[in-house]
A and B are shown apart, each in its own frame.
Chain A
Amino acid sequence: EDQVTQSPEALRLQEGESSSLNCSYTVSGLRGLFWYRQDPGKGPEFLFTLYSAGEEKEKERLKATLTKKESFLHITAPKPEDSATYLCAVDNYGQNFVFGPGTRLSVLP
Chain B
Amino acid sequence: NAGVTQTPKFRVLKTGQSMTLLCAQDMNHEYMYWYRQDPGMGLRLIHYSVGEGTTAKGEVPDGYNVSRLKKQNFLLGLESAAPSQTSVYFCASRLAGGNSGANVLTFGAGSRLTVL
Contact = CB atoms under 8 A, between A and B. Distances in A.
**Chains A and B belong together in one complex:** yes
A49 B99 CA distance: 10
A49 B44 CA distance: 20
Interface string B47-69: 01010000010100000000000
Interface string A5-42: 00000000000000000000000000110101000011
A34 B110 CA distance: 20
Interface residues of A, number: 23
Contacts of A42: 109-110
A43 B107 contact: yes
Interface string B31-43: 1010000001111
Nearest to B105: A97
Contacts, number: 57
Determine the interface band of chain B, counting residues with CB < 8 A from chain A. 20 to 34
Contacts of A89: 43, 105
A45 B105 CA distance: 9
A60 to B, nearest CB: 19
Nearest to B35: A99
Contact of A101 (B40, B97, B98): B40
A41 B10 CA distance: 11
A101 B109 CA distance: 18
A97 B42 CA distance: 12
Given A32-B99, A42-B109, A96 B104 contact: no
Interface of A: 31-32, 34, 36, 41-46, 49, 51, 87, 89, 91, 93, 95-97, 99-102
17 contacts: A31-B98, A32-B99, A36-B105, A36-B107, A43-B92, A43-B109, A44-B43, A44-B105, A44-B107, A45-B107, A49-B104, A89-B105, A95-B48, A99-B42, A99-B43, A101-B40, A101-B42
